[in-house]
Amino acid sequence: MDTQTIATLILVGSFLVMIFFRFPIAFAIGISTAGTIFYLGLPLEQLVQNMVGGVNKFTLMAVPFFIIAGEIMGAGGISNRLITLSNALVGWLRGGLAMVNILASMFFGGISGSSTADTASIGSIMIPMMKKQGYDAEFSTNVTMASSVQGLLIPPSHNMVIFAMVAGGVSVGRLFLAGMIPGIFLGVALMIYSFFISIKRQYPKGDAFSVRNILVASKDSILGLFTVIIVVVGVVGGVFTATESAAIAVVYAFFITFFVYKEIPLKNFWKILERSINTLSIVLILIALSTAFGWVLSYLRIPALVAEFILSLTSSKILILMMLNIMLLLLGMIMDMSSIILIASPILLPVVLKLGMDPVHFGVLLVFNLGIGLITPPVGGTLFIGSAISGVKIERLAKTMLPFYLVMIFVLIIVTYVPEAVMAIPNLIMPTR
């Protein structure tokens, strides 16, 4: 075998072996990259230079700001207000609390941009409430986890920012807009399924419909929801960049949480920062190491080889996209979301570009697939949080999640094969020149 083939086997083989033996993902990426660079006889300075270059980007500054803004709003009472608003809007339906759960996740996801934060915040309130009203513990948890994926699609989403950085030249504003319809469509699909299940199991209705309650709840929650408007309108309108909008969102969230809502004391801000730094440190380490990993991939021409291989299997766009979805779903079951975005994007982008798919469309498709991965075993972070809150074993949750997986895959198929469902809003509001 030639040097390139052996180096590829070292890089990919050692990485997969370490993943199989449950090494921390950062160690798996770093060790496989360093080993391959050493074998190729390249200076190890390449590893450090690429790691530094990976995090030394202005666009990337948006990620910590979005994380901090989401943590502040999540801790500052916005969850309760969004649940109250959602209850006024849909709580009167059969299975009203399930609908409230999904709608609250839709609202909160647009603030936190995180599936795990959504499940921890909304779930800690809604799951006990649903169980008390007679809902099954498994159903209550499954609704919470499935609906939390909306937060990854509905803007602002720091994972979209990471993809834009890796893809290079992809508009963050167009990505934000592209996630809107899929995120809302996912919520509607989950509501329809939950409604029929609620009829079948005779889950209770909530209070009667009241316009007055809607107006009162809207007034109480509008300041929190305005965070999304600031970010999306600001970025899309060209008023400021994604990074600037994220910084403004932090200042706004800080002011609303500590000086308007006042549900937590100012001293709690340090705990919020601590949680944010813990999350951010993981993300930045993964970005740094994955950048070096991606550089070695490019050096070995692996993205081009993978593209050629996939395109040689079939010329059918339908089959190729199906294979990519299956691949991403499987990767999402065993790897961290940020790592997959950083590693898979440069490999798969050449494939979808040759198929004529817009990179913005692919970004939404990628994030959606990996969002499903967060609620699948064996390493789904959202699945672990849902289990911890509800007390239901992960094995039981994974089994009872099967109907929800089917609903989500149905929406994924629509997102994959109906480009207009993703690109209609960005093409209307931010058309490419």
Q: Would you say residue 6 lies in a domain?
A: no
Q: Would you say residue 58 lies in a domain?
A: yes
Per the CB < 8 A criterion, the answer to whether 97 and 135 are in contact is yes
Nearest Cα residue to 183 out of 102, 81, 80, 94: 102
Query: What does the pLDDT look like over 73-103, one tens digit per residue?
Result: 777 777 778 888 888 888 888 888 899 889 8
Q: How far apart are alpha carbons 91 and 99 in whole angstroms?
A: 7
Domain of residue 121 covers 43-429
- DSSP 8-class letter at 239: S
Q: Would you say residue 160 lies in a domain?
A: yes
Which residue numbers in the chain have pLDDT < 50? none
Query: What does the pLDDT look like over 300-349, one tens digit per residue?
Result: 888 777 778 888 888 899 999 999 999 898 888 877 787 788 888 888 88
Q: Taking the CA atoms of 260, 264, 267 and 273 in sequence, report the sign of the dihedral they define.
A: negative
Q: Would you say residue 17 lies in a domain?
A: no
The pLDDT assigned to 281 comes to 83
- In order of 105, 117, 250, 265, the CA distances from 254 in angstroms are 21, 18, 6, 12
Read off the pTM.
0.83
Per the CB < 8 A criterion, the answer to whether 355 and 367 are in contact is no
Q: How far apart are alpha carbons 178 and 185 in whole angstroms?
A: 12
The pLDDT assigned to 110 comes to 64
Domains in the chain, number: 1
The pLDDT assigned to 325 comes to 93
